[in-house]
Amino acid sequence: MTNKTVLHAKHLASGAKMVDFYGWEMPINYGSQIEEHHAVRQHAGMFDVSHMTIVDIQGSDAKAFLRHLVINDVAKLTVAGKALYTGMLNEEGGVIDDLIIYFFSDTNYRLVVNSATREKDLAWMNKQANGFELTITERPEFGMIAVQGPEAKAKVAQLLTAEQLVAVEGMKPFFGVQVGDLFIATTGYTGEDGYEIIVPESAAEDFWQKLLAVGVTPCGLGARDTLRLEAGMNLYGLDMDETVSPLAANMAWTISWEPSERNFIGRDVLTAQKAAGTQAKLVGLVLTEKGVLRAHQVVITEFGKGEITSGTFSPTLGHSVALARVPRSVKVGDIVEVEMRKKLVKVQVTKPSFVRNGKKVF
């Protein structure tokens, strides 16, 4: 049984090539994923992300529950609308999923988790919620549209009410606000300015059509992947999964170690891993000659082998980039080798981030 988002007919109307994405029929491109990529880096593009899972957590124990459930500390969130990126671990310290948490109050949070991991995420949350006073409510009755690019906010502004315009005026990155029938957040998965907008299903098609009318380019999963990889953002299932520690997935920055008495799931394992210092790490790789680095290619370093977790051609840079998990002793600036199509090619190790706001950052 294939799921279709509320915008399915809109994709077909724009000539989308549709593919199966973990049970959802989604647009991979509308002709050229490279042109869509450039539209986001240079102007404004939009993605249907309605397949993603929205979960509201409400109740007197919501805060205490989330402080236990995820590796970042929601106690850091004190301003209504502020969001946090973090990971949810199993008892062995592996990443069940990465997610964004929006704070509305100590008793009211909204989580956005991956669609591919929806069932296990909900099962895990429900299991962990035992003993906490709260409700876990999936919100499938919404569509979600990410509008991204240097012109994204100005394009969206043309569609907002006076009240909505006031609400988003000067909104800092990683905030969300519900105003009228839209939840508008300054988040994204491209490394560009823009919004992710949650819209009631009944209004989603109309909103998409209006975005088209003001010149926002529809973009598929293909461009979404090259954009997020250039931005050095992890993709669950490739760059990390349940067998991978957040320390080995460039997610250490999403862990709150303080206060030390906060007992989040996986803490003991992570503490031991950190002390041992033997976890691999996620780095960037850059290949400036011909060829494209691909997931699962073997990386050979003087400290041992590693593996590419995601690789692609970077349309912005004009050459290939990749994220790779390598031994911790490998350093930024090192030259390592990748086994590509039966030969070894030299690549440069960088920080795992390549492009932000249209510019090269390594």
Q: How far is the CB of 239 from another protein (least distance, A)?
A: 18
Q: Which stretch binds another protein (CB under 8 A): 51-59, 110-118, 180-188, 285-293?
A: 285-293
Is position 317 an interface residue for another protein (rule: CB under 8 A)?
Answer: no
Q: How far is the CB of 46 from another protein (least distance, A)?
A: 19
Q: Is 362 exposed, middle or buried (0-12, 13-18, 19+ CB in 10 A)?
A: middle
CA distance 257 to 254: 10
Which residue, among 221, 227, 90, 94, has the nearest Cα to 152 in the 3D structure?
A: 227
Is position 341 an interface residue for another protein (rule: CB under 8 A)?
Answer: yes
Q: How far is the CB of 362 from another protein (least distance, A)?
A: 20
Give the H or E element holding residue 91: none
Give phi and psi for 154, each to the nearest 5: -65, -35
Is position 165 an interface residue for another protein (rule: CB under 8 A)?
Answer: no
CA distance 353 to 65: 32
Token representation of residue 297? 């290619």
List of residues 6+ apart from 136 with CB closer than 8 A: 55, 56, 57, 122, 125, 126, 129
From candidates 79, 162, 172, 290, binder to another protein by CB under 8 A: 290
Q: Which stretch binds another protein (CB under 8 A): 32-40, 155-163, 188-196, 327-335?
A: 32-40
Give the H or E element holding residue 176: strand 176-179
Task: State how beta strands 217-218 and 45-48 pair.
Answer: parallel
Which residue, among 43, 39, 57, has the nearest Cα to 111 in the 3D structure?
A: 57
Q: Among residues 87 and 315, whose Cβ is nearest to another protein? A: 315
Is position 342 an interface residue for another protein (rule: CB under 8 A)?
Answer: no
From candidates 18, 24, 26, 33, binder to another protein by CB under 8 A: 33
* # residues near another protein by CB under 8 A: 15
Is position 297 an interface residue for another protein (rule: CB under 8 A)?
Answer: no
Buried b / exposed e across 85-119, counting CB within 10 Å, b at 16+? bbbbbeeebbbbbbbbbbbbebebbbbbbbbbbbe
From candidates 14, 32, 90, 348, binder to another protein by CB under 8 A: 32
Q: How far is the CB of 300 from another protein (least distance, A)?
A: 20
Considering only residues 219 through 248, tell me which ones interact with another protein, judged by CB under 8 A. 222, 226
Q: Among residues 47 and 132, whose Cβ is nearest to another protein? A: 47
Q: How far is the CB of 323 from another protein (least distance, A)?
A: 16
Q: Among residues 33 and 50, whose Cβ is nearest to another protein? A: 33
**What are the residues facing 47 on neighbouring strands?**
146
Is position 47 an interface residue for another protein (rule: CB under 8 A)?
Answer: no
What residue ranges bind another protein (CB under 8 A)? 28-29, 32-34, 222, 226, 290-292, 294, 312-313, 315, 341
